[in-house]
Amino acid sequence: MEKILKLIEKDLKKLEHAIDSLDSTDVKIIKKMVNHIIKSGGKRIRPILVILTSKLCGFKGQKHIKYAAVIEFIHTATLLHDDVVDNAEVRRGSSTVNSLWGNEASVLVGDFLYSKSFELMSKDGNSKIIEAVSRATTILSEGEILELLKTSDPHTTEDEYFEIINKKTAILFSVACEIGAILARTDSKRKQLLKEYGKNLGIAFQLVDDLLDYTSYDDKFGKQIGTDLREGKVTLPLIHTLKYADEKEKEFIKEKLKQRSASTADFEKIKGIIEKYKGFEYTYDTTKRYIDKARGCLKGFGVSRYRDALLYLTDMMLTRKV
Amino acid sequence: MEKILKLIEKDLKKLEHAIDSLDSTDVKIIKKMVNHIIKSGGKRIRPILVILTSKLCGFKGQKHIKYAAVIEFIHTATLLHDDVVDNAEVRRGSSTVNSLWGNEASVLVGDFLYSKSFELMSKDGNSKIIEAVSRATTILSEGEILELLKTSDPHTTEDEYFEIINKKTAILFSVACEIGAILARTDSKRKQLLKEYGKNLGIAFQLVDDLLDYTSYDDKFGKQIGTDLREGKVTLPLIHTLKYADEKEKEFIKEKLKQRSASTADFEKIKGIIEKYKGFEYTYDTTKRYIDKARGCLKGFGVSRYRDALLYLTDMMLTRKV
């Protein structure tokens, strides 16, 4: 990661400055709440994608910084609304906005960031980007709703799971890369390849996230592990396991999904069942397939430091522990 | 109202058709939830403003219908999020989306409508309109947050109250009129007048809303009266009264605002105190001032059926009971 950070060091500094200045408002408490979440150590993967793809395509201007900040604002807005939906109390190792200031504030500050993002984009007036981003956020909200509908549903299929993560996660990775391509006015074929790269990277990111929710440790993960199970989120390790588990095991998992209050012992027991049926390996292998797809999308681009950085991001997905 | 409805009868039919078709999604439940609220007998004042102002300025195309629908979608998104913030159970005489499907769904379907609105606008590509609307929704979210911060605060001043209703309500009325002016490419002076008209009408609308929350009847109002008091919303009748009431009366009001659970008897008692200090008359007189301001903005426009309709809307504010 250090290599990437070094490569775009100046742009990343400008990004932090843009994040600090672009969310301007007369209402001080909004700024405070936004800062609480946006300055809490997010990995900035989505804005980094805007920066790297625009550079890869030869963009020479400065607008990519503004759009990178916008993508981070939109991502932050979804986190604020997610935390209300999930009733989350901890994110990135800190108390969530909703637990500190209430669900109401979390909803409204999310709305503020959404609107501010569109305001910033409209001032720049690139209608292709606004269209791409608004389409993405529409799909994103559909993905979140689909996920909500599937809560605690042990019959969730792999296809349904992939539709959800495609819509709720991969779309924003994809549109971040699309912005880079649009800014650099690259041809439609390369734009399509970058969109695909982003999509596959996003799917891999979510797969690893869902894996780590079982296999990481609280202090590393920034939130309590086992959260998905307790929130009734049926993710790939469990979907795979439910296909092969025996009746007794299935019943136990179904019951805990329904109750949404698995104890540590319950969680460990379910983790054991997943291990027995190789649910984690299966998820890891699936992730690798998406990583390969993402890497494949970059073949059409000539060798460059920016391509290397985008390739390096794919490796990072497989090694990340947090 | 019938006269206005007759004047733009065809456009209103097209509007309903647009509302039905433009919120398309593969996720059926979203459509169901959106319909539940959007088809529940809203007055369509904001889209009517888009239609009337565009016609007043001589717009001959069809795009005003699409933008009218978009403004209603955005308004609906704010209602969905408001109901979460207020924990409301009844709106327009029906159960709210959050009480039927949960706060989570209400948040996410609101997000869907916001994003869909920007997607629809970006497809049309009028960057002036997108800029105006996104600025408006940013201000709107600031207004909602300010209102939240002032919950149960008996020291809320008139200035603070007007800042809140300007931002949370009047801005959407104003931008609806601005869209009409932008579509018809009218000059900036007339655009400014229409924005002012919308703003003043919106303030009057909210003042009456806050008045009716004390003086209407449950079956007419579509929601329980006394809701503002029970939610700790300090509105003009109360702000005026708190200026003049004696210590004992003030203490009683403060206590009930803080408790946020006034009984019917408490409510009637507070209503009596407001009457004693002419809080309702004061609010009604203030409303009339804003109505006059709104009417004044239309003087610069020649006599037309559309101007008459916009003038008629101002009268309606003063006579509306629901």
Q: What is the C-alpha to C-alpha distance for residues B80 and A288, in angstroms, rounded to an integer?
A: 40
pLDDT tens digit string along A2-23?
777 788 889 999 999 999 888 7
pLDDT tens digit string along A172-221?
999 999 999 999 999 999 999 999 999 999 999 999 999 999 998 766 66
Average pLDDT estimate for A273-295:
97
Q: Which of A84, A108, A130 sits opposite B122 (nearest CB)?
A: A130
Q: Is A116 exposed, middle or buried (0-12, 13-18, 19+ CB in 10 A)?
A: buried
pLDDT (0 to 100) of residue A99: 76
**CA triple B171-B172-B176, angle to 5 deg:** 115
Confidence of residue A222 (pLDDT cuts 50, 70, 90): low
Q: Is A141 on the interface with B (CB under 8 A)?
A: yes
Q: Which of A30, A134, A140 sits opposite B142 (nearest CB)?
A: A30
Average pLDDT estimate for B204-233:
85
Task: Give the CA count within 13 Å in the CB-facing half-sphere of A281.
Answer: 5
Q: Which of B85, B122, B148 sits opposite A134 (nearest CB)?
A: B122
Q: Which residues of A touch B134 (CB under 8 A)?
A: 115-116, 118-119, 121-122
Sort strands A90-91 and B94-95 into parallel, antiparallel or unpaired.
unpaired
Say if the Cβ atoms of A108 and B145 lie within 8 Å.
yes
Return the percentage of chain A with pLDDT > 70, whole number.
96
Confidence of residue B2 (pLDDT cuts 50, 70, 90): confident
Average pLDDT estimate for A234-262:
94
Mutation target vs A (from B87, B104, B129; most A CBs, 10 A cutoff): B104
pLDDT (0 to 100) of residue A262: 86
Q: Are B282 and B270 in contact (CB under 8 A)?
A: no
Question: What residues contact B145, with CB distance under 8 A and at least 6 apart?
Answer: A27, A29, A30, A105, A108, A109, A112
State the amino acid at position A235 in one-letter form. T
Q: Which residues of A touch B135 (CB under 8 A)?
A: 119
Long-range contacts of A248-254 (CB under 8 A, 24+ apart): A249/A273, A250/A154, A253/A154, A254/A154
3-state secondary structure of A90: strand
Q: Is A153 exposed, middle or buried (0-12, 13-18, 19+ CB in 10 A)?
A: middle
- Look over chain B and give the mean of its residue pLDDT values, rounded to a whole number: 92
State the amino acid at position A112 in one-letter form. F
List domains and CATH numbers for chain B: 2-319 (1.10.600.10)
Q: Is A118 on the interface with B (CB under 8 A)?
A: yes
B142: pLDDT strictly greater than 70: yes
Q: Are A45 and A26 in contact (CB under 8 A)?
A: no
Q: Is A94 on the interface with B (CB under 8 A)?
A: no
pLDDT tens digit string along B151-166?
999 999 999 999 999 9
A125: pLDDT strictly greater than 90: no
pLDDT (0 to 100) of residue A143: 96
Q: Which of A104, A134, A140 sits opposite B118 (nearest CB)?
A: A134
Q: Are A222 and A91 in contact (CB under 8 A)?
A: yes
Structure tokens of A24?
């301007």
A65: pLDDT strictly greater than 90: yes
| pTM, to two decimals | 0.93
How many Å lie between the alpha carbon of B125 and the closest alpha carbon of chain A? 6
Average pLDDT estimate for B28-36:
88
Structure tokens of B171?
């801005």
Q: Is B84 on the interface with A (CB under 8 A)?
A: yes
Confidence of residue B281 (pLDDT cuts 50, 70, 90): very high
Say if the Cβ atoms of A131 and B123 lie within 8 Å.
yes
State the amino acid at position A156 in one-letter form. T
Average pLDDT estimate for B202-216:
95
Comparing CA positions, the residue from B290, B280, B47, B297 lying closest to residue B195 is: B297
Q: Is A243 on the interface with B (CB under 8 A)?
A: no
Count other Cβ atoms within 10 Å, centred on residue B78: 23
Tokens 């690139």 belong to: A126
Say if the Cβ atoms of B119 and A134 lie within 8 Å.
yes
Q: What is the C-alpha to C-alpha distance for residues B218 and A82, in angstroms, rounded to an integer?
A: 35
Give one DSSP letter per residue of B287-299, joined into a string: HHHHHHHHHHHTT
